[in-house]
Every structure is written in structure tokens, then in C-alpha cells.
């Protein structure tokens, strides 16, 4: 056998050995998986809450929800600029100033308890009360629409 033939045979053996090592390594890594997933289920879907503010009062709908993220859509139907505020359970969230006739949004993570929903800051607008019950169930395996 010539020197060239011996080199080619040695190279073939090395290539085969390297390919075998790669395949065995891949098999060993796939065997190390776990079927237990530590991921928590998804949180509850956000709850949409409509709020209307006029010169006399704040009206919200619904006024009873389960705990979780609440998204307030506020319509300022009063004659003055307002700041919409949700306060209670060591939580307070306020919108920037909302001009008359314009809408605004406010996202608040709501825990169980009662909240006062106010607007106007001294304009004499009667506040609304929001009652938040136990946390809503997970939105796992549910279609979430935009």
C-alpha cells in the first residue's frame, strides 16, 4: 500500500470516528431532557373597564371584577380637564390630564379589595367604587383577542 493510500485510509478512519462522536454526543444531550415544565400558567386576561366622567359623577362598568390587570377606558364628558385616579389596596394610578371630550386609557394591576375611582381633583365630581374579588382564573389555553 502506498503512502498516499495509507494517509487516505487514516483520514477515512478519523472522519468516521469524528462523525460517530458527534452522533453519540447528540444522543446523550437529548436524553438529558425533563418532561416537567416549571413555567407558571399565564396570568388572567386583562379586564376592560369603561369609565364615563361628566360634571356630576364618575360611572364605571363593570363595578365588580376579579383581581388582575384592569384596563380603564375613560371618556371625559365634563366641561373641564380632569385627572382620572384609581386608589386603594396600597395602589394609586393616575392619568395625565384629560381634556374635555377626549378619551384616555389607564392600566392598573388590581388586587382584591375596594377601590375609589375619582376624577376632577376638587371639582365636586362624585367618585365611583370598584370592588375587586379573588383573582380571575388563568387565561392558559384560551384564545386572546386583540
* 109's grid cell: 394591576
Query: What does the domain layout of the chain look like in residue ranges?
Result: 1-30, 47-135
Does domain 47-135 fall under CATH 2.60.40.420? My reply is yes
pTM for this prediction: 0.69
CB environment 26-65: b (16+ within 10 A), e (fewer):
eeeeeeeeeeeeeeeeeebbebebebbbeeeebbbeeeeb
Tens of pLDDT along 99-139? Answer: 999 999 999 999 999 999 999 766 789 999 999 999 888 77
The phi and psi torsions of 19 (rounded to 5 degrees) equal -60, -40
Tens of pLDDT along 25-46? Answer: 776 666 555 555 566 777 888 9
CB environment 112-136: b (16+ within 10 A), e (fewer):
eeebebbbbeeeebebbebebeeeb
Amino acid at each position: 500500500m502506498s503512502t498516499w493510500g495509507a494517509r487516505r485510509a487514516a483520514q477515512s478512519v478519523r472522519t468516521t470516528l469524528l462523525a460517530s462522536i458527534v452522533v453519540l454526543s447528540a444522543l446523550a444531550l437529548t436524553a438529558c431532557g425533563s418532561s416537567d415544565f416549571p413555567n407558571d400558567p399565564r396570568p388572567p386576561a386583562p379586564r376592560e373597564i369603561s369609565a364615563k366622567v361628566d360634571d356630576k359623577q364618575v360611572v364605571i362598568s363593570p363595578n365588580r371584577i376579579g383581581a388582575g390587570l384592569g384596563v380603564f377606558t375613560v371618556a371625559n364628558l365634563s366641561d373641564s380637564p380632569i385627572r382620572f385616579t384609581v386608589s386603594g389596596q396600597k395602589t394609586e394610578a393616575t392619568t395625565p390630564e384629560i381634556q374635555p371630550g377626549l378619551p384616555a386609557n389607564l392600566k392598573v394591576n388590581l388586587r382584591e379589595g375596594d377601590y375609589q375611582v375619582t376624577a376632577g381633583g376638587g371639582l365636586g365630581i362624585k367618585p365611583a367604587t370598584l370592588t375587586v374579588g379573588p383573582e380571575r382564573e388563568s387565561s392558559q389555553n384560551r384564545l386572546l383577542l386583540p
